[in-house]
Amino acid sequence: MEKNDEIIEVKDDLFIRIKAKKTPGMNLPEEVTNKVTLVSVEVDEVQNETESILELNIHVQSRAGAKLTKADAGKK
């Protein structure tokens, strides 16, 4: 009896691309140099007998002319 061991690789990829364009108003030079961009990503995946649910939350904040605080970094 011949034994055939095969390794089967299953890939389940999800690609999401978002592009947003915003025309800024007139910025003062100090606002441009003090600009901070914060990005937080939250992924939640739930599987049950009938379905698989993937929840993706992306939050992009852009602050100008202000210093980063603990509240901005998500620390409470």
pLDDT tens digits, one per residue of 2-47 = 666 788 887 778 888 888 887 766 666 655 566 778 889 999 999 9
Asked if 64 contacts 28 with a C-beta cutoff of 8 angstroms, the reply is: no
- What is residue 11's predicted lDDT score, i.e. its pLDDT? 79
**Residue 29: HSE in the Cβ half-sphere, 13 Å Cα cutoff:** 0
Give the predicted TM-score (pTM) of the model.
Answer: 0.51
Say how far apart CA 17 and CA 33 lie, in whole Å.
28
The more confident residue out of 53 and 3 is 53
Q: Which of 67, 72, 70, 43 is nearest to 55 (CA)?
A: 43
Average pLDDT over residues 70-76: 56
